[in-house]
Amino acid sequence: MTVIVRDLGLALRRLREARGWSQEQLAEHAGLNRSYVGEVERGAAIASIVTVEKLAAALDVSVADLLCPLSTWSRTTPAVTAAHAAGEDGG
């Protein structure tokens, strides 16, 4: 898995959990399948730019917020920083 795929999954999970949403709720808001959202979060699926756009819209963030390097938001989310350092990918 590439760094951008892993970081997208971590960003997606962080933003979803910050809203208190389940994967199913995010999938519903984005018009996607719940299992696919889980795969994207784990880095098991590579989301198309159209899918990233749907996810960003559902979370009310920009596409850049989902695709930006982890370092731009990790300062405010120590748990995500620790997971990233440990090599966890949201699964």
8-42: pLDDT as tens digits: 999 999 999 999 999 999 999 999 999 999 999 99
> 66 vs 70, which has greater pLDDT?
66
> Which of 49-53, 74-78, 80-84 has the largest mean confidence?
49-53
What is the per-residue pLDDT for 29?
Answer: 98
**Percentage, residues of the chain above pLDDT 70:** 75
Distance CA 40, CA 43 (A): 5
**Would you say 51 and 32 are in contact if contact means Cβ atoms under 8 Å apart?**
yes
Domains and CATH numbers, the chain: 3-81 (1.10.260.40)
Record the pTM: 0.74
Residue 55: how many other CB atoms lie within 10 Å: 27
